[in-house]
Structure 1
Amino acid sequence: MLAVFEKSIGKPPEELRLPSVGFGNSKSSSREEILKSFRASWPESSVYNLSNGNFMALSRENDAYSPPRSIIVMEDVFCIFIGTLENTSELRRHYGLSRLATEAMVVIEAYKVLRDRAPYPPDQVIKDLHGKFAFILFDVRNSTLFIARDRDGSIELQWGMAGDGSLVCSNNPNIIREACGKSCSPFPAGCMFTNGSGLISFVHPLHKVKAIAREDDNGDVCGVFFQVDLYTRIPSIPRTGSASNWADSTVVETE
């Protein structure tokens, strides 16, 4: 799985750049170069080219030890889903989907309900997804990017910042390191990210997710990871856009 979005759309957290501050980012890969390298390694991959060099891709290679994966497009909403949902049947009934609907289709439908009607906070909807999963969703019509990883971090997912400031997401650490150098980090378990509201814990939605720098023996920042700060509470996420921008809806704690 690989998704790359220019800085103006992906809006990666600046903390991802921390390990390269003072040393320069040794990787200056552009979106085009990252895609070229990916295609060279996995020539049979499914690639969806979006505007301005942004893209989403999924390798077709799979084996008995790899989690299920799929990429799907519905009404200009793209979704890459890796893993499985334990309550797929229940979610199909809830969203009025057929028995043939895949996990990726369920995620897209959940997103569309939130986007168009927003009956409840997005963190509550992600809590309703039970299983081992990671997904990347992009809505072309309003340039909304939505990323999430299950609460146990069962599926590998990393993100980083390329040399041109693009956001890079992949379940393959080698791809991230090649594209981003040191400017990368595991995507935190139990969290979701949108380019409207940033990084939020759907397990603890009223607590801030903070970046923590790791230092080597010389005191230099050698890495960064994100962690929920249980001592810092966020009273709400203010609505800043129209009703159609569900990513800015108020979050209600349901712990």
Structure 2
Amino acid sequence: MLAVFEKAIGKPPEELKLPSMGTLENMKSRQEIAEIVRSLWPESMVMYNLPNGNFMAMSHENESPLQPRSNVVKDDIFCIFNGILMNTPELRRHYGLSRQATEAMIVVEAYKVLRDRAPYPPDQIIKDLEGKFAFIIFDATSGRLLLARDREGRVELEWGMGSDGSLVCSNDPNLIREACGKSCAPFPPGCIFMNGSGLLSFDHPLHRVKAIVREDDNGHICGVIFQVDLYTRLPSIPRTGSAANWADAAVAESEQRS
């Protein structure tokens, strides 16, 4: 699977370009990446061409039966899913889906709960997914992008930066290196990325996910990895909606009593 989005939608972390030291060597634009994909998967590709040169693509070529791929478009929500969920029967019942619902359909319904019940914590949605998986969701109506990978990292997912600053995501390491050169890294296991919210861990949502620079024997930057910093806590998320109203009412009542 592959997804490429302009930086206005999916701005890559600045650390991804560190190994390339600001050069454009071996980095491709969205248009060039699209041509590479068409040449690699000329007959077995499903491709969603989105506005402004953004796109998502998937092929069943060399698909493993242990990590099947599925895709779906529903209510202008595009989803590509790689892997398998172990608790699909429970999830189908929970979201009111038929027995034929695929993993891609399930995560789209989970995303809709996250979107429609904002500010519902995104980590609560992903925690309910048991299995080995990586998926990409794009909501064309709101322009929201969501990436996720299982906590064990059992399904490959990498992300990188194109020459035009676009975000590139794929489960094919060779493809993403051809598109991004050295400006790429494994997407951290147990994490989700949402434009507007950034990268966070769904197992440790109160801790920052930071980039760690790797250097070779000569001290040159050769790569970047992202991992949860268990020693750094994020600021508490302000209460909104009914929770904030309840808290304000409780404070007012306490003040009246005093």
Structure 1 counterpart of 2:172: 172
Identity of aligned residues (%): 71
TM-score (norm 1): 0.90
| Residue 85 to residue 160, structure 1, CA distance change in 2 (3 Å) | same
CA contact (8 A) 1:190 1:203 kept: yes
Deviation for aligned residue 1:96: 1.1
Structure 2 counterpart of 1:37: 36
| Secondary structure, aligned partner of 2:8 | helix
CA contact (8 A) 1:208 1:232 kept: yes
Structure 2 counterpart of 1:6: 6
CA distance in 2, matches of 1:162, 1:83: 26
Deviation for aligned residue 1:237: 3.9
Deviation for aligned residue 1:61: 1.4
| Secondary structure, aligned partner of 1:72 | strand
CA contact (8 A) 2:114 2:120 kept: yes
- Structure number, greater radius of gyration: 2
**How many residues are matched?**
240
Structure 1 counterpart of 2:69: 69
Unaligned runs of 5+ in 2: 242-258
CA distance in 2, matches of 1:236, 1:14: 24
> What pairs up with 1:50-199 in 2 under 5 angstroms?
50-64=50-64, 67-118=67-118, 120-199=120-199
CA distance in 2, matches of 1:63, 1:180: 23
Which sits farther off after the overlay, 196-205 or 63-72? 63-72
CA distance in 1, matches of 2:216, 2:235: 35
Q: Work out whether 1:209 is the aligned partner of 2:209.
A: yes
| Secondary structure, aligned partner of 2:9 | helix
1:88-140 CA distance string (max 9 Å, x none): 11011111111111111110011111111237411011000000000000000
CA contact (8 A) 1:27 1:178 kept: yes
TM-score (norm 2): 0.89
Supply the AA of the counterpart residue of 1:26: E
CA distance in 1, matches of 2:194, 2:236: 16
CA distance in 2, matches of 1:124, 1:205: 10
| Residue 64 to residue 57, structure 1, CA distance change in 2 (3 Å) | closer
Deviation for aligned residue 1:51: 0.3
Structure 2 counterpart of 1:248: none
Supply the AA of the counterpart residue of 2:38: R
Supply the AA of the counterpart residue of 1:209: V
| Secondary structure, aligned partner of 1:7 | coil
1:152-208 CA distance string (max 9 Å, x none): 000000000011100000000011111100000000000000011000000100000
| Residue 120 to residue 8, structure 1, CA distance change in 2 (3 Å) | closer
Supply the AA of the counterpart residue of 1:49: N
Deviation for aligned residue 1:239: 8.0
